[in-house]
Amino acid sequence: MKEFSSILWQEKYIKDLCIVVKDKYDPKNNDTNEKIYIGLENMMTNKGIISKNNSLKIKSVKTKFEKYDLLYGRLRPYLNKHDVVTFDGICSTDILVFRFKNKITAKYINYYFDTVDFIKYVVKNSNGINLPRVSAKEIGLYKIKLPPINEQQRIVNIIESLFVKLDRAKELIENTLVQFEQNKMAILHKAFTGELTAKWRKENNIDLSSWKDVIMQDICEKIVCGKTPTGYISKTGEIPYLKVYNIVDNKIDFNKTAQFIPNKIHKEKLKSSILKPNDIIMNIVGPPLRKIAIIPDNYPEWNMNQAIVRFRVKKDVMYKFIYYILIYPKTLDNIINKTKGVVGQANISITQSRNIQIKLPTVEEQQEIVNILDRLLAKYNKIKNLEQQLEKIELLKKAILAKAFRGELDTNNPDEESAENLLKEILAEK
């Protein structure tokens, strides 16, 4: 890639490029007509301001802003939510308003605020315990290398061109994932209402009345949760020990946070919660609840802590059928709606786990349902991998910004083809 010379770039403090707007709107001294209002909640998007459709009558003192001002959320968790506005209005006093000498520099700095170095700076320089906030003074003292105005414009143009493509890809992926979840829920609904195997039952002269109402304790061995063997958990050992964070996307993820307990503890103190391959586990402490997984055969035996419950099916019950029916939202809806706990926490009791109600078909029909779900959901699970692409898009944006503000974008030729080539080059580097 052709590197643009940054010899004309100058070091500048942000405070030297703008003024901090402190013009106040006091409803006592102004008209009472509805004003366009931007609150902190309207900054909760990576794309900046959600919309300007927030007209209301202002009842307390706010900060005025004008078209092309840069609004910046200074208070966590809204910290570093920002955008250049395209309209006049009024905003929360917890939103900083920067007015630059021209709109091009405002857009340039708006992108700069998303760089890794700047974000680290504002986090480090935020003050306060419960709700840390950064001051306009601290932001003003941040120093950047600023190119001439025409170069700023070229950099903004090429970033916008690349980000439009990435945002388009992100939207497509997000829409696909939403459709995936909707389709998955529809398939599970058909599976556990008998619709999915209606043709199979007809071919085998079986009636839907063959489905029996049961509760989990009728079809499983004793349903139990685990314990925490304080002092015996380590990063290496003999028996893998599971916690809720090991259940990821309804599978066991034991790679990043593996923990173990000694075999003696496993066989004695925790013998009631021994896990074996094909057992089903579910978290009973949330949020979030509904984390389900099948124990894999990586180890002959496992164990678990007190936030997880075990279902080990009896004869004539397919373990995968129970796994799928627990994933089906309606199975747990009634129980979860009744969960009570401390603020921010939701618990399912062992008794509730044992009394989960389901409709159980014959073992032959269970097998048929499992076979169909395995085939159909295998296709959708491939789509689920698109979530990783969303993370790559955000990383790619950071890479583009890093190049932009080091003067490494080919901004001498900011046409569509140049933008496409740059995107391909950065993708290759990633």
DSSP 75-111: BTTSTT-EEE-SS-EEE-TTEEEEEESSHHHHHHHHH
Residue of 254, 233, 357, 356 lying closest to 299 (CA atoms)? 254
Phi, psi dihedral angles at 38 (to 5 degrees) = -115, 115
Gap between the Cα atoms of 3 and 93, Å rounded: 42
Residue with tokens 């989990």: 216
Gap between the Cα atoms of 147 and 9, Å rounded: 4
Q: Residues of the chain with pLDDT > 90: what percent?
A: 61
DSSP 268-284: TTTGGG-B-TT-EEEE-
Residue of 305, 310, 312, 306 lying closest to 261 (CA atoms)? 305
The percent of the chain in helix, strand and coil, each rounded to the nearest 5, is 40, 20, 40
Q: Give the mean model confidence (pLDDT) for residues 39-54.
A: 68
Gap between the Cα atoms of 142 and 62, Å rounded: 26
Residue with tokens 């092309």: 68
Amino acid, single-letter form, for residue 402: A
Please tell me which of 90-99, 285-294, 300-309 the model is most confident about, judged by mean pLDDT.
300-309
- Strand partners of residue 378: none
Out of 55-69, 81-95, 256-270, least confident range: 55-69
Structure tokens at 374: 């395995």
Tell me what pLDDT residue 410 has. 62
Tell me what pLDDT residue 291 has. 96
What's the predicted TM-score (pTM) here? 0.68
Gap between the Cα atoms of 167 and 423, Å rounded: 13
The 10 Å Cβ neighbour count of residue 225 is: 22
Tell me what pLDDT residue 426 has. 46
Tens of pLDDT, residue by residue over 124-155, are: 999 887 788 999 999 999 999 999 999 999 99
Q: For residue 259, what are the contacts with CB-CB under 8 A and spacing of at least 6? A: 233, 234, 235, 237, 240, 241, 243
Q: Give the mean model confidence (pLDDT) for residues 296-308.
A: 97
Tens of pLDDT, residue by residue over 234-290, are: 999 899 999 999 999 899 999 878 999 999 999 999 999 999 999 999 999 988 999
Gap between the Cα atoms of 340 and 219, Å rounded: 27
Gap between the Cα atoms of 353 and 223, Å rounded: 8
The answer to whether the CB of 25 falls within 8 A of the CB of 68 is no
Domains annotated for the chain, with CATH where assigned, are 8-146 (3.90.220.20), 218-348 (3.90.220.20)
- Going by their DSSP bridges, the two strands 35-38 and 89-91 should be labelled as parallel
The answer to whether the CB of 319 falls within 8 A of the CB of 295 is no
- Strand partners of residue 97: 71
Peptide bond into 277 cis (omega under 30): no
Q: Give the mean model confidence (pLDDT) for residues 175-193.
A: 91
Q: What is the dihedral of CA 232, 235, 236, 238, to 10 degrees?
A: 50
The answer to whether the CB of 361 falls within 8 A of the CB of 219 is no
Give how far Cα 48 sits from Cα of 43, 75, 132, 210, 291, Å. Answer: 6, 15, 20, 56, 33
Tens of pLDDT, residue by residue over 198-248, are: 999 999 999 999 999 999 999 999 999 999 998 999 999 899 999 999 999
Tell me what pLDDT residue 42 has. 84
Residue of 97, 86, 33 lying closest to 62 (CA atoms)? 97
Tell me what pLDDT residue 421 has. 55
Gap between the Cα atoms of 226 and 341, Å rounded: 19
Return mean pLDDT, the chain.
87
pLDDT surpasses 60 at 341: no
Tell me what pLDDT residue 430 has. 42
Per-residue burial over 374-392, b = 16 or more CB atoms within 10 Å of its CB, e = otherwise? eebbeeeeebeeeeeeeee
